[in-house]
Amino acid sequence: MSDIFPVVVGIDFDAEAIWTGRQPELANRPVLLSHGTFAVRAGLAPLLALLAEHRIRATFFIPGATADRHPEAVRAIHKAGHEIGSHGHAHRPVHTLNAEEEKKELVGGIDSIERVTGSRTRIWRSPSWEWSARTLDYLLAEGITVSTNFHDTIRPYRHMRDGKPVDLVELPVQWHLADAPYFMYGGQIGRVIHASAEVERIWMEEFEAMYDWPGTFFHLTLHVQLIGHPGRLAMLNRLLHRMRARPRTRFFGSAELAATIA
Amino acid sequence: MSDIFPVVVGIDFDAEAIWTGRQPELANRPVLLSHGTFAVRAGLAPLLALLAEHRIRATFFIPGATADRHPEAVRAIHKAGHEIGSHGHAHRPVHTLNAEEEKKELVGGIDSIERVTGSRTRIWRSPSWEWSARTLDYLLAEGITVSTNFHDTIRPYRHMRDGKPVDLVELPVQWHLADAPYFMYGGQIGRVIHASAEVERIWMEEFEAMYDWPGTFFHLTLHVQLIGHPGRLAMLNRLLHRMRARPRTRFFGSAELAATIA
Amino acid sequence: MSDIFPVVVGIDFDAEAIWTGRQPELANRPVLLSHGTFAVRAGLAPLLALLAEHRIRATFFIPGATADRHPEAVRAIHKAGHEIGSHGHAHRPVHTLNAEEEKKELVGGIDSIERVTGSRTRIWRSPSWEWSARTLDYLLAEGITVSTNFHDTIRPYRHMRDGKPVDLVELPVQWHLADAPYFMYGGQIGRVIHASAEVERIWMEEFEAMYDWPGTFFHLTLHVQLIGHPGRLAMLNRLLHRMRARPRTRFFGSAELAATIA
Amino acid sequence: MSDIFPVVVGIDFDAEAIWTGRQPELANRPVLLSHGTFAVRAGLAPLLALLAEHRIRATFFIPGATADRHPEAVRAIHKAGHEIGSHGHAHRPVHTLNAEEEKKELVGGIDSIERVTGSRTRIWRSPSWEWSARTLDYLLAEGITVSTNFHDTIRPYRHMRDGKPVDLVELPVQWHLADAPYFMYGGQIGRVIHASAEVERIWMEEFEAMYDWPGTFFHLTLHVQLIGHPGRLAMLNRLLHRMRARPRTRFFGSAELAATIA
């Protein structure tokens, strides 16, 4: 693998679940939910078109509740050849759940995806990027083989249990390579909207420097409702062109890259 | 419509109501309120002059309480030929109201505008961009035909009730095309003031990319108290010139654009 | 006055009072207080030197508690020929005080300044930029003739009582022309440190546009502990040079400018 | 010393202690902790390599709990010739501790470092940059001779007790010369991630201006988990080259510089 530089594009397709997962009472706020609906109604189609144009296979992380609510959109993603990962069921943060709830969220999310796509996913990203002390056992029991949650390094690695490697590869993520810190807003005090060109600058700073570090990979995290706006997609298009212009760049689905890890 | 690109300029003229709507006790803080008064005393006249210079018909959204307090300013807006929309009565967020309060806020706001301008508006933007489960029925009952509240897409659309289209067109809005995320401050921790040139960059990024997306429109949201400062108006002037330099750009009032939607 | 463009430089010299005014218990946190001490120990001397180099008479706003604690520093400011305004006594926000407390803060602050400088100031800026319903009467009773608190316009004006002008001129301020939104940090989540060059850009955007608006003036608000760092003073030096390069620019003390208002 | 300009690079090596010091219950959140683990697993090695390339002796500040947990990493830092300072034991903020707790944190932190490195440090930086009224006595009792905590000036100075200088030199720090305000995120609302190039601009603004102020020094504060990413290290590399290109620049360890202060 040392002669190539892997890039993985992980995309959260949360839709309304991003709001209702933490606070179910927000179901009564249709305008707030409409920020999530944007993913389904406006953002998804041009994002899929852009990925197709670049011939990139991405990994979409989808809450079960979103698959239940928007099965056609999920089938469109699946049909376009992208990997589908589970993103919990109702987008509830793992560290706020008891054992039974965590299990139910995990299994329920995987089940919903299977009902819509016909196949059982082995890729998982927790809602809100957290694990509990139980999560490793639960993931192994459910046959999950790829996790995209930890921030502890910039190289893929295999999880360990009792000092021994297990059948679960971690593809670590970084907040500064996600779109949420720069584009998530929703009118909340404390959030700041950045120019797309500024985000491109931050991501390319990291890409250029990382490109020459052996064993690393570039792991981009997007949200359909945030990146799926015209100006931001134009930036993503520029970014993908710039990455592809480097000779060693290769795009991987999460499971594809994980399969190369010893 | 496919040979033109519509631009709608929606302008909130809140004045003091922006503070007192959420927290009536702020009426005892004259300096805080003076941030809102800026709209009346300093910001409005040059903003109207700039719009006239560009021959743009904008839509002003005005809380009833502001119309009651500053009728001369509202008449100046009306006389300049701009559309007037209702922006609630006391700028109270809809999702915090019970049925009776919501109805009263809605009707009271429309009534106040009518008393000042002599005509009954059919355009409505909720204070704080929210609806309740009752809002659709209430709007239809009051004869509102244009809503500028939802964030779920970048194309105008007709609202549905029980699966059938109703006489209410939505002109969706976007936070990143509003001035508040970049200019609202008031000394609150968590807010950040941006350079006007940076805001121009963000808006033009989106305008340029959106210009080529069929069926979309550019929906700018301004607040008189925020945009009505000399440097920011200079930026808005540049922005309007840049938009007008593109051959397919056409400016519409909210009701004008809504009238073209099937 | 129409052939000149007035610039007023108002400078808060808070020192430790900026922390202890709102939360007296912070007196037990010497490192936090040291952010304020920076004004006395490091920031003041080079700021005074820079103002002298540009031959600018500024207005320093000083809490009485700071005058009590650092009389030598206050005398240095006074001796350099700058105007001295009162900034309350203990930097307690006016809207949190009852009538007796407000009176005591006002009179105590003015008294402390008088003890150190030998003259009774007629210029006042409230701590945290707020008034109460009582403030106008109190200011008139104490002989204050210049207030620099309101945000309602960008032109100086005379305050009114019962519909008649009184002997108190307002020199309105603007948050985006203050240094605090860009430089105040103290480790608090929600605050953001900007590059000096970015702040220069924001201030010059406003200066350039305002320069051609009749009757306006540019009112800069600085804090010694924030602006008094080498890189920021270098920016201020550039800013002052750029402002002075415009032929109609004239620098005024607050009382000097207020004296020209009918 | 007037013919040179000292630069001190202070680096916090917190690892997981940055989260658990304030909120021990966070020990149950492995993904959140993994932000800290990044320092050990990914950030440290390339940062040490970069410092070696520039032949810079830095000062690493290490919580005792981190030394206990990651002794190999601490030995690698020590072996590379850098100074090691204590950074408390469990990274608990000093102003939240009673006398006994403060003493225990101080002594425990120093003891842990000694167990791992074999020598007793005389350099101390408090977790969260705070002191109590007891701290000076405690530091002198433990033989600490260098403190890097206060923000009151930009020149090194000797602490005083009862009006007399004591055997403790302060090397003051500045938030805007730290990486945390620009890079710390962790998904918290109110935090903002900056481009590395923007941070370089802020730091160089200050460096260039400070370079000509007699008696000052440039005190950079880094965190391994924040700066140790490829793009940020590339920026640090550029920064160090630019600083070294100035003829009077000299890099010092904290204790080295403190030893030159009368």
A84 bridge partner residues = A60
| Encoded tokens for D8 | 């001190």
Write out chain C residues lying below 8 Å of A194, CB-based: none
Distance CA D51, CA D9 (A): 10
DSSP B195: P
SS3 for D154-180 is: CCCEEEEECCEEEEEEECCCCHHHECH
Please tell me the distance in Å from C231's CA to the nearest CA on chain D. Answer: 4
Q: What pLDDT is attached to residue D18?
A: 80
Distance of CA A190 to the CA centre of its chain: 24
* Number of domains into which chain B is organized: 1
Write out chain B residues lying below 8 Å of C99, CB-based: none
Each residue of A124-175: pLDDT tens digit? 999 989 999 999 999 999 999 999 999 999 999 999 999 999 999 999 999 9
**For residue B31, which of C21, C167, C125, C218 has the smallest C-alpha distance?**
C125
- Cβ of C190 and A192 within 8 Å? no
Q: Which residue of B has its CA nearest to D191?
A: B190
Question: B11 with B222: CB under 8 angstroms?
Answer: yes
Q: What pLDDT is attached to residue B128?
A: 86
pLDDT at B1 over 70: no
Question: D64 with D113: CB under 8 angstroms?
Answer: yes
Q: How many CB atoms lie within 10 A of CB B85?
A: 28
Candidates B182, B193, B236, partner chain C, best to mutate (most C CBs within 10 A): B193
Write out chain A residues lying below 8 Å of D229, CB-based: 154, 174, 176, 206, 209
Owning domain of residue A33: 5-258
Confidence of residue A47 (pLDDT cuts 50, 70, 90): very high
Q: How many CB atoms lie within 10 A of CB C50?
A: 17
∠ at Cα B44 (B43, B49), nearest 5°? 110
B contact chains, 3+ CB pairs < 8 A:
A, C, D
B11 torsion bin: left (phi>0), alpha (psi -120 to 50), beta (else): beta
Tokens 């899929």, located at residue: A48
**For residue C192, which of D193, B173, B65 has the smallest C-alpha distance?**
D193
Confidence of residue A254 (pLDDT cuts 50, 70, 90): very high
Find the chain C residues whose C-beta atoms sit closer than 8 A to any C-beta of D.
Answer: 28-32, 34-35, 37-38, 41-42, 46, 183, 185-187, 189-197, 229-235
Element (H, E) at B7: strand B5-12
Distance CA C260, CA A248 (A): 70
Please tell me the distance in Å from A213's CA to the nearest CA on chain D. Answer: 8
Provide the H-helix boundaries in chain B: 17-20, 30-38, 44-53, 64-69, 71-79, 99-117, 135-141, 180-183, 196-210, 224-227, 230-244, 254-258
- Cβ of A37 and B198 within 8 Å? no
Candidates A152, A158, A173, partner chain D, best to mutate (most D CBs within 10 A): A152
pLDDT at B72 over 80: yes
- Cβ of C187 and D131 within 8 Å? no
Q: What pLDDT is attached to residue D1?
A: 54
Written as tens digits, the pLDDT of chain C (262 aa) is: 569 999 999 999 999 988 887 788 888 899 999 999 999 999 999 999 999 999 999 999 999 999 999 999 999 999 999 999 999 999 999 989 999 999 999 999 999 999 999 999 999 999 989 999 999 999 999 999 999 999 999 999 999 999 999 999 999 999 999 999 999 998 889 999 999 999 999 999 999 999 999 999 999 999 999 999 999 999 999 999 999 999 999 999 999 999 999 8
| Encoded tokens for D19 | 């989260």
- Cβ of D229 and A154 within 8 Å? yes
Find the chain B residues whose C-beta atoms sit closer than 8 A to any C-beta of A.
Answer: 95, 126, 128-133, 135, 149-155, 172, 174-176, 181-182, 188, 190-192, 198, 201-202, 205-210, 213, 216
Each residue of B232-255: pLDDT tens digit? 999 999 999 999 999 999 999 999
Write out chain B residues lying below 8 Å of D193, CB-based: none
- Cβ of B193 and C176 within 8 Å? yes
Instruction: Kindly give, in sequence order, each residue whose CB lies less than 8 Å from that of residue B228, ignoring residues fewer than 6 positions away.
Output: B38, B39, B42, B43, B44, B46, B47
Q: Which residue of B has its CA nearest to C197?
A: B195
Find the chain A residues whose C-beta atoms sit closer than 8 A to any C-beta of D.
Answer: 95, 126, 128-133, 135, 149-155, 172, 174-176, 181-182, 188, 190-192, 198, 201-202, 205-210, 213, 216
- Cβ of C192 and A190 within 8 Å? no
Q: What pLDDT is attached to residue C1?
A: 54
**For residue D129, which of D78, D84, D175 has the smallest C-alpha distance?**
D175
Task: Calculate helix-pair angle for C71-79, C44-53, nearest 10 degrees.
Answer: 0
Distance CA C221, CA C12 (A): 8
Q: In angstroms, what CA-CA distances link A109 with A17, A86, A159, A220?
A: 12, 6, 22, 23
- Rounded to the nearest integer, the mean pLDDT of chain A is 96
Q: How many CB atoms lie within 10 A of CB B22?
A: 15
Q: Select from B29, B30, B197 the Cβ nearest to the Cβ of C205.
A: B197
Each residue of B169-198: pLDDT tens digit? 999 999 999 999 999 998 889 999 999 999
Write out chain C residues lying below 8 Å of B38, CB-based: 151-153
**DSSP notation for B140-170:** HHTT--EE----S-SS-EEEEETTEEEEEEE
Write out chain D residues lying below 8 Å of C191, CB-based: 181
- Cβ of B205 and A197 within 8 Å? yes
DSSP C22: T
Question: B58 with B228: CB under 8 angstroms?
Answer: no
Q: What pLDDT is attached to residue A90?
A: 93
This model of the complex carries an ipTM of: 0.96
**For residue A125, which of A28, A38, A13 has the smallest C-alpha distance?**
A13
Q: What is the pTM of this model?
A: 0.97
Find the chain B residues whose C-beta atoms sit closer than 8 A to any C-beta of D.
Answer: 189-190, 192
Element (H, E) at C17: helix C17-20
Please tell me the distance in Å from B223's CA to the nearest CA on chain D. Answer: 23
Question: B39 with B234: CB under 8 angstroms?
Answer: no
Question: D216 with D210: CB under 8 angstroms?
Answer: yes
Q: Select from C130, C191, C209 the Cβ nearest to the Cβ of B231.
A: C209
- Cβ of C29 and D213 within 8 Å? no
Which CATH number fits the domain that encloses residue B188? 3.20.20.370
**For residue B116, which of B60, B43, B171 has the smallest C-alpha distance?**
B60
Distance CA B91, CA B68 (A): 13
Name residues of chain D where pLDDT drops below 50. none
Confidence of residue B33 (pLDDT cuts 50, 70, 90): very high
Confidence of residue B70 (pLDDT cuts 50, 70, 90): very high
C contact chains, 3+ CB pairs < 8 A:
A, B, D
Q: Which residue of A has its CA nearest to C191?
A: A190
D contact chains, 3+ CB pairs < 8 A:
A, B, C
Write out chain B residues lying below 8 Å of D189, CB-based: 190
Task: Calculate helix-pair angle for B230-244, B196-210, nearest 10 degrees.
Answer: 20
Q: Which residue of D has its CA nearest to B191?
A: D190
